[in-house]
Every structure is written in structure tokens, then in C-alpha cells.
Structure 1
Amino acid sequence: MLRSAQKKEKDPEGRMPLGEHLRELRNRLAKAVVAIIVVTIIAAFFYKDIIEFFTNPILDAVGCHASFSDLAAKDHGTCARIVLNGLLTPFTLALKVSLMVGVIGASPIWLSQLWGFVAPGLHQHEKRYARAFVGTGVPLFLGGAFFAYKTLPTMATVLLGFSPGGLDNQLPLDELIDLITRMVVIFGLSFELPLLLVMLNLTGVLTGRRMLSWWRGMIMGITLFAAIATPSTDPITMLALAGPIWVLYFAATIFSLTNDRRKARAEEAGPGDDEASELDLTPDDIDEAESVSAGPALPEQASGEGNRINGYDDVT
């Protein structure tokens, strides 16, 4: 009964003692860890299918038209082959892939737990910005990951094209998975740049006109970043990363310019009917002559009226 009564009596602003904060953090971390463990265990039963999903497009691009499971059963001639080095490598690779899928698959749960812990300390406008950032950032990250997945076969074809003829290329599977993961993360995070610019504009830190003045440097910087981020030297893979970021950058610039014009029109129009106007709280100097000639003095207190002051009841 006492604990239920304490749960009902919550501060509307989310304030609580330090002990309560620590207990809430412990409970939310426990829920997040349990969710990651459960998804990791489920992914462990399908980790071979997960590996095939990422490696088969690369194998198809370099001439090995077979799935990962039956590479040993066929003779493919000269082509790239995926290999595993070491006795413990298959187990550690299965653990790594399953844990990676567990963290990504359980992200809605542990992100909601993180939001539930942080949200009570945020103001209303901060919550609105956070929801907009997450709601827009997740699709952008997935879009970048999709571009990485689609460009990996082209990248593999270009890189393996430098191999001398008649030789097989051995691709260690653990290194290949690390490369795919790194490319997905780099492409996904690079697609978040326009969102960062929009958030800076909404908070008043950066104007759209300033962003537009940077367009030459941004194009050069994005192109240089794409050339460094992509392991291959072909222009197709580089443009596959740089092109969408160019488009998103100019889209963010157009949005910021539109938002700046909207703010300027709102300031010129003044406050709306449901908004309070700004008050001038600067005190004015009172002239002594004006105070003397302000008006006739009140009549003096009449004699014999103990409860009347200056001719008026003390109540009034």
C-alpha cells in the first residue's frame, strides 16, 4: 500500500530523490539488457542466413554464383572464396553477428527505455525536437545503410579486378563482416548531416543564407569524404555516397531558407491574438511638480469618527 501510494504521488516535473533515479536507471538498464539478450539468442539460430544475406551479393558480383552454404560443394574456377581462419573463428563470428543483430533488433526497446529515463527532465519544446530528430534520423540512417548494401557488390568487383589472372582470392569472413559493418555505419551516419543542419537552423544557431553560402565548400568536402570513406577507387561507388548527401544538403538548405522567411514574417506581423505582447518594464521618472499638482488632497478626518480616516471608512 505504501509503495503504491508513492507511485501515485509523482512530481509533475519528473523530480525525484537520487535513490529513486538510481533505482529507475537500474530497472531500465535491466529491461534493455534482457531485450538485447533475447534478440541475440533468437538471432543465433539464424546467423548463417544473416551472413548469407550480406555476402551473397558480393559473391554474385565477383563470379561465385552460389550461396555461402554450398561453396565447398562446387568448383567455381578462378574467383573469390570466403574462408575462415582458426578453430575458434566460427564460434566467435557467430557470437559477434548474433550480438550485433541483437543490439540492432532490440533498439526500439532500449531506445524507449532511454527516452523514458531522459524525457521527464526535458522541456516541452526539447521533447518535440527530440521526437523530430529520432523520427527523421532513423529513416535517414536506414537509407544510408541501404545505399551501402547496394554499392558493396560494385566495390568488391572493382577491388578484386586488380588481382592477377588465374588466382583465387580468399576473403576472410570475419574481415568481410567487419568491412560491411563499417560501410553501413559510415553511410548511415553521413546521411545524418542534413538533419544536423536543420536542427541547428530550428534552434537559431545557423541561418539558411549561411548554409547556402557554404555550397562550394560543402560539395568539395562531401566529395572528399566519400572518396576517403569508400575503400574502392572507382567513381561509381564514390558518387553513390556523395550524390545523395548533396541532394540532402540542398534540401536542408531550402528548408532552412523557408523557415527563416517564415520567422521573419511572424516577427513583422507581431504577436497573434492568443499570444502575449512584450511589456516595457522600464521605470519612468516621476517629476516632483507633477506629483504636487496631481489633484486635490482628500478631506481631513472628521472629529468624533474614530473608524474614519480622511473622510473614508478604513475598510475602503
Structure 2
Amino acid sequence: MRRKSNPDARMPVRAHLVELRKRLFLSAIGIVLAMVVGWFLYTPVYEAVQRPVLDLAARDDALVTVNFSGLATALDLQLKVAAILGVILSSPWWLYQLWAFVAPGMRKVERRYTIGFMSAAIPLFFAGIAFAWWILPQAVGILVGFTPDGAANVLDAQMYLTFAMRLLLAFGLAFVFPVLMVALSWARIVPARVWLRGWRWAVVIIAVAAAVLTPTPDAITMLILQTPMTVLYFAAIGVAVLRERAVSRRPQDPADAEEGLEAEA
């Protein structure tokens, strides 16, 4: 008797595109709502981001300040900061939407790992932000340190706050990518051996991504982002390999086997 096929295994391309549009739409709604919260958090965030500059000026007794150069600069900057804060604050929501888009490609027994994915992705995202927040004063000190003696360093507010907020977001996204790698491996979409075989290309792509994500053209900031991304890439491969070995050694789950028969029918 022919078994009923798994609808997820034969989902047409159009259905994937509809699902992608749905997840992007839901993510956008969450980000917009979080932007409203980010709008009201602008002042404390601005004061916190400006603190490294003020501390540097007080320490070196130098003229280092943040300057608003245009009439509408403050409003434009508040909108940009609110947008980035919206992405950061709504990260649990859009990370769940990302998982919900990948999950249909998994078997039923594997969809139980939703809590595990979210438990790893959300802390890693905020760990990346925390790491970027820790290196922000060092990055500011290094870059401002190139100012010649006797010269003033008047930082454009638009450039500086965009630099700081993009740095936080870039590190957060970089720290989440390894979790996505593991999810794709667990979904049997990209085996661990594929990630490992392409490690040379991955290092090159990581370098290019770090150069694009970092808001300034200096090599120091790029290397600061590239190094943990590379380490986490190989760590994700290690987790995927351990997972595949564990699955190959244990008895097959009856529910998993039944679903596999349905897919083959």
C-alpha cells in the first residue's frame, strides 16, 4: 500500500516563496513596533554611546567631541538609531521567524529543537552586541589616537552614532550565523562535511563580510569582527560533526523512520 507523502518534503518553489514572504512580513511588523520603543530609548542610548568620546577627552585633556553639523541631522540620526534599535530589540521575534522558515524542511522529530535554536541564537546575538560594546571604547581610542598633537577631533554625530550602532548590529548578526549553520546541518540541508570542505572560501567570504559590515574602512575593526566569526564558523562545524556522529550511533527513532518511509513513498 502506498503511503501518504510528506507535504513538507515536496513543497513547491512557489510555496517556499509564499512562506518566505510571510516570514519577512511578520519580521518587518515586529521590527517596526520595536522601532517605536527604540525612538523613546534614543536619549539614554545616545548618552551611553557618547560616553567613550567624553571619557577619552577627559583622559587626554583633548578636544574630542560629537558635533551635529546640519539642521535636520538630529532628527535623521534619531530615526536611524531607532531603526537599528528596532532590529536589536525585536531579535527574538525575527530569529523565530527565521527558524520557522527553515523548520518545514525538517522532519517532525527535528522540529522539537525550536527551543534549543532560540536558546542558542538569542544569547549569542546579545553576546555579540555585548562584545561589540566592550570593544567600542578601544576602537574609538585607537582611531582617535591617530589625531596629531595640537589638533582637534570633532566627530560628526551622524557618522559616529551610525558607526557605533552598526558595529553592535554587525557583531550580533555575526555571532548568530553559526547557529544557522548548525540548524541547516541538523535539517540535512548542508552536511558538516560541506561546511568543512569549503573552509577556505568561508574564510574569504567572512573577510569580505567583515569589511562590508564594519562601518569604517580601517583594517583594525574588520579584523576584530573577522576573528570571532572565523572561530565560531569552525565551532559550528564541530557541533554539526558531533551531532551527525551521535545520530549515526543511536537507534533510529520510530517516528523518524515512519516519516522517512512517507517521504520515500
TM-score range relative to shorter protein: 0.5 to 0.7
Aligned counterpart, 1:257:
241
Within the alignment, does 1:64 sit opposite 2:57 as a pair?
A: yes
Within the alignment, does 1:181 sit opposite 2:165 as a pair?
A: yes
Q: Which has the larger radius of gyration?
A: 1
Output aligned runs, 1:263-282, within 5 Å: 263-266=247-250, 269=251
Gapped regions of structure 1 (runs ≥ 5): 1-27, 67-75, 280-316
Give the TM-score taking structure 2 as reference length: 0.66
Residue 64 of structure 1: SS of its match in structure 2?
A: helix
Instruction: Spell out, residue by residue over 1:256-296, the C-alpha distance to the aligned partner (whole angstroms, 9 max, x if none).
Output: 11222223234xx56669966998xxxxxxxxxxxxxxxxx
Instruction: Spell out, residue by residue over 1:155-192, the C-alpha distance to the aligned partner (whole angstroms, 9 max, x if none).
Output: 22333333333111111212211122222222222222
Q: Distance in 1 between matches of 2:144 and 2:162?
A: 18
Within the alignment, does 1:240 sit opposite 2:224 as a pair?
A: yes
CA contact (8 A) 2:35 2:85 kept: no
CA contact (8 A) 1:147 1:241 kept: no
Q: Distance in 2 between matches of 1:228 and 1:179?
A: 12
Aligned counterpart, 1:85:
69
Instruction: Spell out, residue by residue over 1:203-252, the C-alpha distance to the aligned partner (whole angstroms, 9 max, x if none).
Output: 112222332333344344434543554436454x4443223223222221
Tell me: CA distance 1:180–1:114, structure 2 relative to 1, closer, same or farther (3 Å): same
CA contact (8 A) 2:88 2:169 kept: no
Out of 203, 208, 211, the residue aligned to residue 187 of structure 2 is 203
Output aligned runs, 1:154-169, within 5 Å: 154-169=138-153
| TM-fit CA distance, 1:132 | 3.9
Q: Distance in 1 between matches of 2:61 and 2:194?
A: 57
Q: Distance in 1 between matches of 2:207 and 2:123?
A: 23
Higher relative contact order (CA 8 A, sep 6+): 2
CA contact (8 A) 2:66 2:156 kept: yes
Q: Distance in 1 between matches of 2:64 and 2:194?
A: 49
Residue 85 of structure 1: SS of its match in structure 2?
A: coil
Q: 2:131 is aligned with what amino acid?
A: F
Tell me: CA distance 1:278–1:126, structure 2 relative to 1, closer, same or farther (3 Å): closer
**Share of identical aligned residues, percent?**
31
Out of 28, 47, 52, the residue aligned to residue 52 of structure 1 is 47
Give the TM-score taking structure 1 as reference length: 0.57
Q: Distance in 1 between matches of 2:212 and 2:97?
A: 34
Instruction: Spell out, residue by residue over 1:5-33, the C-alpha distance to the aligned partner (whole angstroms, 9 max, x if none).
Output: xxxxxxxxxxxxxxxxxxxxxxx99x969
Residue 57 of structure 2: SS of its match in structure 1?
A: coil
Q: 1:178 is aligned with what amino acid?
A: T
Out of 37, 40, 44, the residue aligned to residue 39 of structure 1 is 37
Instruction: Spell out, residue by residue over 1:93-117, the C-alpha distance to the aligned partner (whole angstroms, 9 max, x if none).
Output: 3454456545644666x669979x9
Q: 1:146 is aligned with what amino acid?
A: A
Q: Distance in 2 between matches of 1:185 and 1:55?
A: 17
Q: Distance in 1 between matches of 2:63 and 2:195?
A: 47
Q: How many residues align?
A: 234
Report the structure, 1 or 2, having the larger helix content. Answer: 2
CA contact (8 A) 1:158 1:234 kept: no
Q: Distance in 2 between matches of 1:274 and 1:38?
A: 44
Q: Distance in 2 between matches of 1:33 and 1:256?
A: 31
Aligned counterpart, 2:132:
148
Q: 1:39 is aligned with what amino acid?
A: V
| TM-fit CA distance, 1:88 | 3.3
Q: 1:153 is aligned with what amino acid?
A: P
